[in-house]
Amino acid sequence: MNKKITILVIIICTLVVGLGVSLAYFAANNSNNGNETNLNITTEELGSILWEGTKVFTSYDLLPGQIGIQEFTIEKNSDNGIGIYEIDLAGVLPEEFGTDIEISLYKTTEPETNNVTVNVADPTLENETIYQEDNLNITGTPELVYQGTLTNNSQIILEQADFDVTTLEKNSYYLVYHYKNNGNQDNQQGLTFSGTISVRIINEKMSFSEALALCDDTASNCMIKNAEKSNELVYDETADNNLRYIGADPNNYVSFNNELWRIIGVMNNIDDGIERKETRLKIIRNESIGDYSWDSSDSTINEGFGINEWSQSDIMKLLNPGYETELIGNSLYYYRGSGMCYSGVNNESAACDFSSIGLLDDSKALIKNALWNTGANNGSLYSYNNINTSTFYELERSNNSGKYCFSTTLCNDTVTRQTSWIGLVGLMYSSDYGYATGGSSNKSRSECISEYLYSWNNDCTDNNWLYKNTFQWTLTPFATPSHTCRVYCVNCRNNSDTDDAYMSHSITPVVYLSSDVRISGGTGSSGDPFTLTVS
């Protein structure tokens, strides 16, 4: 992104016939597309600062001893932002020049009274060599921030300067090139050297929301690029290395569906349903849409307790399109409808109304299908109460179905079970809940993640924004030797216990935003949530 200025110095040998004198003179010029014209350096936008420079050299003979100056300025480019900017010089210099090219950098905020110019001397002919001893004219007290020599393949940091744009004054810089006169320099004839100046921000200390506002990329990429600016975003260190919001109340609010939703995180390797892996934001509604059965069933199937198979569950059909012919549920949430919803054993139902909270067409345009993993625990290895967060993550992506049981009346379903599902609206995973903790002063986040979720106490739950003082259904089925109707539930009896699918617990929809969604505004707070648009 950085635009650079290149100063090319061409060294030419000229023989003056008749005098027998070898005159070494040097044509110095700044070139713009090969033309010897004044070079206006395009303004460089660097977030909070900009820099600008103009050509000082014109085409003239540059002799040993002469001096050239390149001027440029740095000033603020926005109303807020703090950090460090760096001025770099990349030099290409044949070894024959040795240490003959001296570089100095001066700066001032008052160029009218503090500046650097050149006192041009007359050429001198001595010992068959012509040279010109210019002098640097320093007016006032400009600050010398660098002095050294240009060497072969130099990569010079001329200055690193802190800035706060609320107090940043315009800085004028003078980069001085001095081609020193060191006697016989015939071995330098016919060679060239060049230098490139660039300015970059190496540590933009603006807030996370300010950085997002300046980021011209998808929402997912912008969050990844600026994650280090937020102490509320951490990588989960899974195989997918997702970026997640943690803590009691992070600034992860987003305006979606004319409601407050929250960003669970930036999720990697999300299959879009046609085997294309993407990085996408995963968001969850801030409030429940009500208490409903995860699934219910006829009394002849699992004694009416339901079936823990997501792709055919009653709650999946309520949240997603394509089930309009179902007598109960019939995609009511997806289409903002009202009617009857399952809410008890033996297919018991109750009135439900989503006419004011279901999905709007504008919101549907921001989400796309995703492959949701619906693997269960391995019933022969894990009971419901000895699974930690990272193990949950692995099991949810396993081929373990929710059916691992012996012959009982609660294991008599005959459905074809799947461990993945392609669709639009789901629920959070048990692992989503686990990775949202920030830990506490008594127990670190890593200790909470390593501990069984079932055993969590306030040290892990109080600083977890996904914890609610209510029973919350998850997407994660539970394989048990005696049931095929149980599903993991946050805060059911314990922090990650299970319950029978027919039970009416809190339903909080979760969606994956389209990969091309961008953040168009907001700071992520509940009063100023992120706003979204499609690029």
Whether the pLDDT of residue 13 is over 90: the answer is no
Identify the pLDDT of residue 496. Answer: 62
H or E segment and range at residue 267: strand 259-271
pLDDT in tens, 206-260: 788 888 888 889 999 999 999 988 999 999 999 999 999 999 999 999 999 999 9
Report the alpha-carbon distance of residue 28 to residue 483 in Å, rounded.
86
- pLDDT for 429-459, tens place per residue? 999 999 999 999 999 999 999 999 988 999 9
Under 8 Å between Cβ of 39 and 55: yes
Amino acid at 417: R
- Beta-carbon contacts of residue 67 (< 8 Å; ≥ 6 apart): 118, 134, 135, 136, 176, 177, 178, 179
Q: What is the mean pLDDT of the chain?
A: 84
> In which band, very low, low, confident or very high, does the pLDDT at 384 lie, cut at 50, 70 and 90?
low
Higher pLDDT pick, 408 / 259: 259
**Max avg pLDDT among 3-17, 165-179, 289-303:** 289-303
Q: Which residues contact 332 (CB under 8 A, 6 or more apart)?
A: 318, 338, 339, 341, 352, 354, 358
| pLDDT recorded at residue 504 | 96
Report whether CATH 2.60.120 matches the domain 5-204: yes
The pLDDT value recorded for residue 183 is 74
Greater model confidence, 175 or 25: 175
Report the C-alpha gap between 324 and 316 in whole angstroms. Answer: 13
Evaluated on CA atoms 393, 266, 459, 442, the torsion sign reads positive
Per-residue pLDDT band for 487 (boundaries 50, 70, 90) equals very high
SS (H, E, C) 427-494: CCCHHHHHHCECCCCCCCHHHHHHCEHHHCCHHHHCCECCCCCCCEEEEEECCECCECCEEEEECCCC
Q: Which residue has the higher pLDDT, 306 or 88?
A: 306
**Cα dist from 489 to 29, 454, 462, whole Å:** 73, 10, 18
The 3-state DSSP class for residue 195 equals: strand
The distance in angstroms from the start CA to the end CA of the chain is 21
Least confident of 113-127, 203-217, 271-285, 306-320: 203-217
pLDDT at 357 exceeding the cut of 90: yes
Both tokens of 295, joined, read 């699934």
The label of the residue with tokens 């940091």 reads 157
**What is residue 184's predicted lDDT score, i.e. its pLDDT?**
76
> How many residues belong to the chain?
535
Other C-beta atoms closer than 10 Å to the C-beta of 81 total 24
Q: What is the DSSP letter of 154?
A: E
Render pLDDT for 39-68 as a digit per residue (tens, 0 to 9): 233 345 566 666 666 433 332 345 788 888
> Looking at residue 151, what is its pLDDT?
77
